[in-house]
Chains A and B, each alone.
Chain A
């Protein structure tokens, strides 16, 4: 869970860095170059399979964990637990499901077009023309809203996930653990805000 999660968190950083090139203001040239590099690079191709496996492992373990934990308390409490714990940590499966639904929408919008599983929209020049796809998609306020709401929930998920992964791996330190918690919060905010900038840019500025 923790290892797959940390791997996915690393992927998000690369994904965000590439996507932010769309905001360069050069009509998507820098972004198109990055996409070309990534789609033609065999190492990246190999990584796509590992990434896919990472998602599957993380989702499968998450479901197993949740089912087992639910069955560990067959009779629920009458009065809800009042224990003061982080709100984010209690709703990991819920935010996880929202992220999964978003992931399916997102793959239908972009990745599956590249694979040829979904028909190429008229406005796109080629299967790799993600910039034109993004322009048309995000100028629809409903799509932009779905994306931004999903990123907010992704932020909630990551807020707990970052420090939790270190704890699960036994990496706990009197001095560094508080720092990990701060870094985790900054990371969750950066990912959530960073990805939200893209639909906002196409909706209001582009």
Chain B
């Protein structure tokens, strides 16, 4: 298969980038999208050029690092598929493929197709944890969890933090990511202790990072490679209202004795 690739090239975070077009020929339909870029990079290196930089790690759809914006869709044209699991047979021979990095104020481009997603890390640092005693695991039956809730929490925990929700959102909002991370703790007893502070802090951090506000367009759900549901956004909103309406700050507003 032959393709024309229109790829965003940018030397570093400060440089002004631009598109460059590369023709690739004899691409196997069985190649994954990343293998196809590897194949192109080999040719670029052999001809003495600077290879295209892109982020990748596991190449089995679980690490969340390989996000590319392909022909106007985060992770390309296949639903529920990460870029690394996308195959060239999904494209038609001779097609022009436009490859761009994620675009968001909170995801600045570092080089070529690589963006800095540490804003997601900071949202997690703000509240994406639980306080538990270390040491040997507690006796399982001492913490009853309903099957329904454990399944739901697991669905939320399927989020790989790739940032496709931000890339797919017309507002570049990270609400689906934050909602999944909040829901995975909110639904199970281990997460209850810090539930109220968690939603408060994570939402605040999300706004500080410069992500947009949610307008319920649901583009995030459509392009999420793990199929995270927007139902979790409603759950996050409920958690948020309950944290705002039922605030208990120790030492504040207490009656003087």
What is A's interface to B at a CB cutoff of 8 Å? 65, 68-69, 71-86, 89-90, 92, 160, 163-164, 167-172
**A73: which B residues are within 8 A, CB to CB?**
103-105, 171-172, 212
Q: Say whether B71 faces chain A, with CB atoms less than 8 Å apart.
A: yes
* Given known contacts A73-B104, A76-B103, A172-B231, A167 and B216 CB-to-CB distance under 8 angstroms: yes
List residues of B (85-125) whose CB comes within 8 Å of A's CBs. Answer: 98, 100, 103-106, 109
List residues of B (116-173) whose CB comes within 8 Å of A's CBs. Answer: 168, 170-173
Question: How big is chain B's contact interface, by range?
Answer: 35 or more
Q: Say whether B237 faces chain A, with CB atoms less than 8 Å apart.
A: yes
**B103: which A residues are within 8 A, CB to CB?**
73, 75-77
**B72: which A residues are within 8 A, CB to CB?**
77, 79-83
CB pair B217–A89 under 8 Å, yes or no, is: yes
A75 to B213, CA, bound (A): 17
**A169: which B residues are within 8 A, CB to CB?**
237, 241
CB pair B105–A79 under 8 Å, yes or no, is: no
CB pair B69–A77 under 8 Å, yes or no, is: yes
**A85: which B residues are within 8 A, CB to CB?**
170, 217-219, 222
B196-238 vs A: 1/0 string, CB under 8 Å? 0000000000000011111111110011000000110111111
Q: Say whether B22 faces chain A, with CB atoms less than 8 Å apart.
A: no
**A168: which B residues are within 8 A, CB to CB?**
214, 216, 237
A86 to B219, CA, bound (A): 9
* Given known contacts A83-B223, A89-B218, A170-B241, A72 and B210 CB-to-CB distance under 8 angstroms: yes
Q: Which of B100, B235, B237 has the most CB of A within 10 A?
A: B237
CB pair A65–B213 under 8 Å, yes or no, is: yes
CB pair A69–B212 under 8 Å, yes or no, is: yes
**B109: which A residues are within 8 A, CB to CB?**
75
**A92: which B residues are within 8 A, CB to CB?**
215
- With beta carbons under 8 angstroms apart, the residue of B172, B218, B235, B240 that contacts A72 is B172
**A83: which B residues are within 8 A, CB to CB?**
72-74, 168, 219, 222-223
Chain A proximity of B205: nearest CB distance (Å)? 15
**B223: which A residues are within 8 A, CB to CB?**
83
B166-198 vs A: 1/0 string, CB under 8 Å? 001011110000000000000000000000000
**A80: which B residues are within 8 A, CB to CB?**
72
- With beta carbons under 8 angstroms apart, the residue of B8, B211, B213, B216 that contacts A164 is B216
CB pair B219–A81 under 8 Å, yes or no, is: yes
Chain B proximity of A68: nearest CB distance (Å)? 6
List residues of B (1-59) whose CB comes within 8 Å of A's CBs. Answer: 6, 8, 19
Chain B proximity of A6: nearest CB distance (Å)? 14
* Given known contacts A86-B218, A168-B216, A77 and B100 CB-to-CB distance under 8 angstroms: yes
Chain B proximity of A183: nearest CB distance (Å)? 16
A72 to B231, CA, bound (A): 24
* Given known contacts A82-B72, A167-B230, A69 and B217 CB-to-CB distance under 8 angstroms: no
CB pair A172–B219 under 8 Å, yes or no, is: no
CB pair A68–B233 under 8 Å, yes or no, is: no
Chain B proximity of A1: nearest CB distance (Å)? 9
A76 to B212, CA, bound (A): 14
CB pair A86–B217 under 8 Å, yes or no, is: yes
**B212: which A residues are within 8 A, CB to CB?**
68-69, 72-73
A168 to B241, CA, bound (A): 10
Chain A proximity of B240: nearest CB distance (Å)? 8
Chain B proximity of A189: nearest CB distance (Å)? 20
